[in-house]
Amino acid sequence: MSERSTAVRLRKPRSLAGDAWRDLRRKPIFWISLALVLLVTAMAAVPGLFTSNDPTDCALSRQHAAPSGGAVFGYDFQGCDTYARAVYGARASLLVGALSALLTGAIALVVGMLAGYFGGWVDAVLSRVIDIVLGIPLLLAAIVLLKRVAADSATVRLAAVIFVLAVLGWTTTARVVRSSVISARQQDYVAAARMLGAGNGRIMWRHILPNALAPAVVVLTIALGTFIAAEATLSFLGIGLREPTISWGIDINSGRVHMRESATPLVVPSTFLALTVLAFIMLGDAIRDAFDPKLR
Amino acid sequence: MFRFIVRRLLQMIVAFFGTTLIVYALMFAGQGDPIQALAGERPVTEAQRAYLTEKYHLDATGVGGFFYRYFDYLSNLLRGDLGESLTGRSIGEILAAAWPVTIKLALIAIAVAVIFGVTAGVLAGIRRASIFDNATLLLTLLVLGIPTIVLAPLAQYLLGVKWQLFPPTAGADPDFYALLLPGIVLGSLSLATALRLTRTSVAENLRADYVRTARSKGLPRRRVVSVHVLRNSLIPVITFLGVELGNLMSGAIITEGVFNIPGVGFNLFRGIRTEDGPLVVGIVSVLVVVYLVANLVVDILYAVLDPRIRYE
């Protein structure tokens, strides 16, 4: 018997989360995407830390002007500071992404829990609803829904975009929750809780929910990235957020129109958007890989 | 098989009524002035108002009126009569001119996805955890993470304007070369997904019992991979690509808008920009139907390819 096998026997058994953490710690992609996520979050919370220029201070006399005085990437077609606009654009993106993800999570948890826990006709009906919503192309439905919002108020438009993305985007998460609820329902500890007299509500809330939460959070991290991309796409099309709200989608569209004169107003918000979306998707991807024992 | 097709058709009919009802209800229900809702923020002339009132039977009221109008809209849709856009052009004619372009573009995108995605996916699946595998995984993650509104304008700027390898915009009646760059941009997302799907299913099937049997019979590796593994691995990929073809036709809004390709997505893009409600609703309705039919065809194809599906 070698020393090694003794060591293995003596080692304290690790939980799934502990295993996943050990796995994650060694992945550079995890650290890079985590750093990017934190950076963008800081930008959204305190944009003043990253630039001292006002993104709404625009003057046509500075149209496509070269970098100067804190405007490290120069000025755009309207003579606004390209970099300051990109920094201030983080807020709308993250707000939409995070709030739609939260709303999505809430809908998905309720639907997935009901379908998975009760089964039978409840499951049959809810699963068909999921099938139908999943069959609706996101962009087309969002166009039809958002066309109805005529209001120009920034808050109303923000709420509308969040609502539309959540209403169309909850299905995948609901399926994940449903399948983890189904597998948790058959566990011994659920049977034990039931024998001890716990009601349906208590079993769902105290015993099944904690197990369904982790996979849902991972899916939602990835969904957050796709919601940010969707918001930018809708704003790019002119039906999402609108001026005076600062959004990467709006800036990419105006930068695209004038790219022959100057490309930086297109490239800078594009890079910010792509890196943010990538960071969330890679973070979710890395966590999912770490939590999925089949891949090890 | 027959029972499966019938059941699937019934499902599709329910989905058809469901989605068209949603599209229609969103168009008109609960709005103070449905005509203004269609026109968005544009002023509506008396002539347009009279046309729309007659077209959609807006003088009938109540729930009965709503369903009357809904079935009217539905029968018009099924007969291919989509009405006129606010600019007075027949939406059917606009679409008839736009479809060939969009189909060409979608086929280029699918071809790109199949040629590069499936080939690279098979290689990555065979050599799992190799440098090639890890590199393609990282690359596909990048492609999947970069939104089209970033990819399309940047590709247009770099390859079209700066280095001038491709025509930057397509314009009316585009040829194959003008559609190549937009096709690649449009197909890149499907390429990445197809690659990942192929890789996973090849890697999974390589461990299956029947592959071990084939190997122990002494078959050469080439034959095991190309006949035994590939045939089973491509089933999910074909399903995905079929659904994706439906997706690409509706997903080309950004790409066609950016590259100025006069397809269906471009007209939708313009309809949104110019606040042309009837045009947007007409195109969206048709696209939803296309999407549903594509899904149906793929499901039936799936059942033909994989007999297990029929007996679920």
Are residues B160 and B59 part of one domain?
no
Report pTM.
Answer: 0.84
Between chains, do B272 and A237 touch, taking CB under 8 Å as contact?
A: yes
* Element housing B241 (H / E): helix B230-251
Q: A254 to chain B nearest CA, in Å?
A: 11
Question: Predicted ipTM?
Answer: 0.82
CA–CA distance from B209 to each of A189, B163, B228, B255 (Å)? Answer: 36, 51, 11, 44
- Is residue B83 one of the residues assigned to a domain? no
Q: B112 to chain A nearest CA, in Å?
A: 22
- Is residue B88 one of the residues assigned to a domain? no
- Of A21-30, A179-188, B206-215, B289-298, the poorest mean pLDDT is in B289-298
Between chains, do A225 and B284 touch, taking CB under 8 Å as contact?
A: no
pLDDT of residue B29: 53
pLDDT in tens, B50-60: 777 777 666 66
- Does any CB of chain B come closer than 8 Å to the CB of residue A252? yes
Domain-ending residue, one of B22, B44, B78: B78
Instruction: Give the mean pLDDT of chain A.
Output: 86
Are residues B253 and B107 part of one domain?
yes
- Is residue B261 one of the residues assigned to a domain? yes
CATH of the domain at B257: 1.10.3720.10
pLDDT of residue B27: 64
Residue to substitute from A139, A222, A280, interface B, most B β-carbons within 10 A = A139
- Is residue B85 one of the residues assigned to a domain? no
Are residues B149 and B58 part of one domain?
no
First to last CA, chain A: 27
- Is residue B288 one of the residues assigned to a domain? yes
pLDDT of residue A296: 44
- Is residue B91 one of the residues assigned to a domain? no
With bands split at pLDDT 50, 70 and 90, how would you rate the model's confidence at A39? Answer: very high
First to last CA, chain B: 12
- Is residue B194 one of the residues assigned to a domain? yes
pLDDT in tens, B57-87: 666 666 666 777 778 778 888 887 777 787 8
pLDDT in tens, A166-211: 998 899 899 999 988 988 888 888 889 989 988 888 888 888 888 7
pLDDT of residue A27: 85
Residue-number span of the structural domain to which B50 is assigned: 2-78
Are residues B159 and B67 part of one domain?
no
Domain-ending residue, one of B78, B113, B134: B78
Are residues B7 and B154 part of one domain?
no
Q: Are A220 and A104 in contact (CB under 8 A)?
A: yes
Domain-ending residue, one of B44, B78, B112: B78
Provide the β-strand partners of residue A71.
A68
Residues A95-100: what's their mean pLDDT?
95
pLDDT at B30 over 50: no
pLDDT in tens, B187-239: 998 899 899 899 988 988 888 888 899 889 988 888 888 888 888 888 888 87
With bands split at pLDDT 50, 70 and 90, how would you rate the model's confidence at A160? Answer: very high
pLDDT in tens, B133-185: 889 988 888 888 888 899 999 999 999 888 888 888 887 778 888 889 999 99
Are residues B136 and B244 part of one domain?
yes
- Is residue B92 one of the residues assigned to a domain? no
Between chains, do A140 and B145 touch, taking CB under 8 Å as contact?
A: no
How far is Cα B27 from Cα A165, in angstroms, rounded to an integer? 18
Residue to substitute from A40, A146, A237, interface B, most B β-carbons within 10 A = A237
Total domain count for chain B? 2
Residues A270-281: what's their mean pLDDT?
94
